Structure 1
Amino acid sequence: MPVTVTSEGASLVRATLDGAELEPFTDQGGGVWTGAAPCFGSIDNGAHVLEVTATLGPLAHTWPPVMFEVATPTPGGLAWAQPGPAGSTSRRVAVTPEGDAIEVGSLVVDDAPRPSIRKRRGKDGAEVWAEGTIVLDSREGAVDAVALTPGGQIWVAMNVRQADSKWRPRIVLLDAEGHETGVEMPTDAGASVRGIASDAAGGCIAVGFGGSGYGDTDIKIWRMTAEGIAVVSAKGWDHAPDTQPNDGQPDPHVFDDLAFDVVIKDGVAWVAGASTGDHDDGWSDEMRGILVPLDLETGARLDPVVVQAASGGWRQGMYLGAAAHPDGVVVVGQGASVDGTSQRIELALYDASGARIWWSPEPAADVAYGTGVAVSAHGGVIGVGVVMDGGVLRGVVLGRKGLTFQHKFSSGLDPSAVYGAAVDPWDQVFAVGELTAAGVRYARAEFVRQ
């Protein structure tokens, strides 16, 4: 909520909202000062008190308290929904400081998907760029991850099929209008990139997976600085715990390891993924979610590596999305029975020591998995994914950890999926994915209230 006051001769204007100090007001000249009282949706519903004080040295003037009420729409309600072109899908979304959405995925051109990006206006979902949806590569493929730099540039991680039919990652820096800057990470065919994060300086770390050369699959790591210097390219990481109790030595290359997302928290890159192998004595070839801390500069493994814990008959799982949280790192993915016939979305929060300090398993279904996660300004968790509902796959948006809403991407007989989520500066939710209508798939973006 914008606040404007007039005070001649003041050197500082500040305010409190319900007794909590706000950011100092900005001097606009001519005695006019502007500030903002933040409102983050339904969590702020109710009565509030704003008090503003102007000071000049030892002199001070406080205006009479301003009483006001906040009444926002019901959490989980849909503000707007926008489709993409026929045959398109959206994989991930990032939000600009102005509250607009950068949406990435693929667009069908000449009967094949091509990596694509678009920008949507926050207030109504209209496309912002004059070109509309921009195709980033003429080859078959999709953009699987996106991250914004502090300066407003856009890192994208895509996978494309070369002329020899081999798939190759492309990790590219775009300008704020979606055009290539000439900065690109050197990559080779044979791996797949799935997640990317930008550091405070504007560089990036990206993660995915590929063959190790020893018969298993390893996590792959790419790192490039803000100056466009490649640090590591497809560096492998192999989950090798102590699987030989008699000699106490780790046994490498017996686990298949995958990475799907990465987030930077307190200078550490946390990789969310999955690992298949003998995690518990007597239980072989189980897939579990993993959360791996890496040195941001070198990609070297730090401690501790988190392995998703078994819970009764729920012994399988994976982590497909991650986000920074005030208390650590929150992940979303799947828990499943041993045979995989019963599944559920699982959300979990881990602190820096690797301890799970919060856990939210959702109801079981024949098919259920979480794909993306975002965190509100108050530490609430928004998870997105797919659930089998009434025989139809539906995308869902879930508000948890202080938030209590559930939103479905579709109703009726139209199948849908949600793959990515982000919150705007006022804690409202962008969710992206796809919906199939009359047998045709369309990308879909929604703006969900909370």
Structure 2
Amino acid sequence: MFFERPTNNSEHQQRAETAILVHIDFPEGVNREDLNEFRELVISAGAEPLDLITAKRSTPDPKTFIGLGKVDEIREMLQLYDCQLVMFNHSLSPSQERNLEKALECRVVDRTGLILDIFAQRARTHEGKLQVELAQLQHQSTRLVRGWTHLERQQGGIGSRGAGESQLETDRRLVRNRVSQIHKRLEKVRAQRDQGRRARQRSSIPTVAIVGYTNAGKSTLFNALTTSEVYAADQLFATLDPTLRRHQVDDIGEVVLADTVGFIRHLPHKLVEAFRATLQEAADADLLMHVIDCAAEERDSNIEQVELVLAEIEADEVPQLRVYNKIDLLEHGEARIDRDDQGNPTAVWLSAREREGFELLNQAIAELLGEDLFAEEICLKPADAKLRAMLYDMGAIREERYADNGDMLLQIRMQRQDFRRALARSGLDEQRFLPQAKEVWE
């Protein structure tokens, strides 16, 4: 049943807030939303759905989104249940939200506000809280003038809890000032994150960013691979704050795994903008692991939505390995590697919960990252000491010996692009190293 609530969840029951839910069945297109996903969002926000109102429309009503007839029906249901909250599975314009609150005399929360509320509950780090507050302020800035005046006195509640709520009682100037302050703080955070990212690049440690639709099992996979304890739960947006851990891959060495926030269809644009610094881990990664719930009914649609967000953050050109998770939920699910016509890995089927298929995943990662790996023995003259120092700074030297004539024999392992960059900065030519090393060793 749509309103079946999870059992053994005392925390949910303590904070539950009753609500009437509204879902409009539009034809395929930009306005169409998934009803089951709406249920998961509502439960994740801590609400108790009392009833569901559905309707079919070809286009939204410009004033109330649902039409006057449905407005009357919602009003009657609010009186029946003595409820003060209506939640829409759609994004409403500021005028539609104000018109509905004036007509219904209660709080109205649209899909965007619902997602923002979940983010406000889940953010744990300073950066995450700042990003959520920024997204909330940008969303609320067009909704400061409310038709239902009790909202000015409302404290907390779904769609209006978390940092930024007090801004509803101020004017737009204070909102702009606060947004400016948050931008400055986030710039400092981004500078620190960029510094850490550059340090990893200098040390030639490849970064593998884990992306995917929310609740696809990204954090479960991340924990299993890195023996970490990142919060993982069967709920939407269990992870907001990015976590970086090292992971050992045969033939490659250490790689950095980055667990990122889950995506969702029609993810609010302001939220994407606010979390751009976090999502930059995906854009700057050497490889994306796109984790997919292979047992989900909306699997193909979820993949499409993730690809859209990756394009929005300019990460669609990063090499990608699809990881079809939860094969234990399939009737005949088996761990395997899918390859393209050239034999390169394109997808791995596994179960993060059962730890099945991890060897295949590491094999696929090694093959994909190894394409640009420079692992050779090179010979440097005493005049090439600058390059030697740079290679040590980058952590690329695995072994060093000296020939009788004083030449330095180095066994290095690093990304080919980084090696070429080091050569360019040293004014040296790559071609002179490959054939000479073996002869000197012999």
* TM-score (ref. length: structure 1): 0.23
**Structure number having the greater strand percentage:** 1
Q: Which structure exhibits the higher relative contact order, with contacts defined as CA atoms closer than 8 Å and separated by 6 or more residues?
A: 1
**CA radius of gyration, larger in:** 2
Return the structure number with greater helix share. Answer: 2
